[in-house]
Structure formats: structure tokens, C-alpha cells
Amino acid sequence: MKAYVRSAAGEDILRQYRYYLLERDAAQVAQRFLDAVQSAIEELCRAPGLGAPRPLKNAALAGLRSWPVRGFPSMRIFYLLSGDKLRVVRVLHGRRDIAALLEKEPEDE
């Protein structure tokens, strides 16, 4: 299975990386976060369908699932499966208004 990271998810990852790097002055944590996200995506590619389904009103996200980022318990990867593709829609911190953010997601990029 091939993974595709949507631009919004890429921005989410970069935002969290910068937070650890600049706000927390924790370069090792920032790198560990990037590695953990990559590992989680690889795990999802090996075993698609992991994680809890996330029912939403947004029809574009029918079948959306979420999976935690190991070592960062508040961070979750939100993804869709489509044939042999895994599309990472967002990577969000649990303190954000996840439902509101996901309801605004567009169809596909």
C-alpha cells in the first residue's frame, strides 16, 4: 500500500515539529515526532484499517479512521483508504477542535 500525505496533513506535521523545535527548544523531541509519524504511517500501510472509525457529516471523509502517533499520545493520524492508497488527511493534537477541522476538509486534492 502506498501512502499519500495531503497538504493539510503535511502542514499539521510541520506545525507540530516547529512547536517542539522552537517553542519547546527540544530538537530531539521534534525529530522523534517526525520519526514517530513516519513509523505510524508505515504501520498503517502494512495493516490498513487499523484504528477507530470516525463518523462525520462530511461525505468527503466517509470511512475516515484515526490512529495514534506512538510516543505522542495526544497526536492522531486521520486517514482514508482508497483501493491500494492510504491518504493521510490530517495529523492533529487532541486539544484542537478536531470535529470542526475535519468537517471543513475538502473532497480530495
What's the CATH number where 27 sits?
3.30.2310.20
Range of the domain at 57: 2-103
pLDDT tens, position by position, 38-91: 999 999 999 988 998 988 888 888 899 999 999 999 999 999 999 899 999 999
Identify whether 71 is part of a domain. yes
Does residue 76 form part of some domain? yes
| Whether the Cβ atoms of residue 100 and residue 73 lie closer than 8 Å to each other | no
108 lies in a domain?
no
Residues linked to residue 77 through DSSP beta bridges, in sequence order: 67, 91
Tally of structural domains, the chain: 1
How many whole angstroms separate alpha carbon 62 and alpha carbon 20?
A: 32
The Cα-based distances of 40 to 17, 19, 25, 56 in angstroms read 16, 20, 24, 23
Give pLDDT tens digits for 2-52. Answer: 999 999 999 999 999 999 999 888 999 999 999 999 999 999 999 988 998
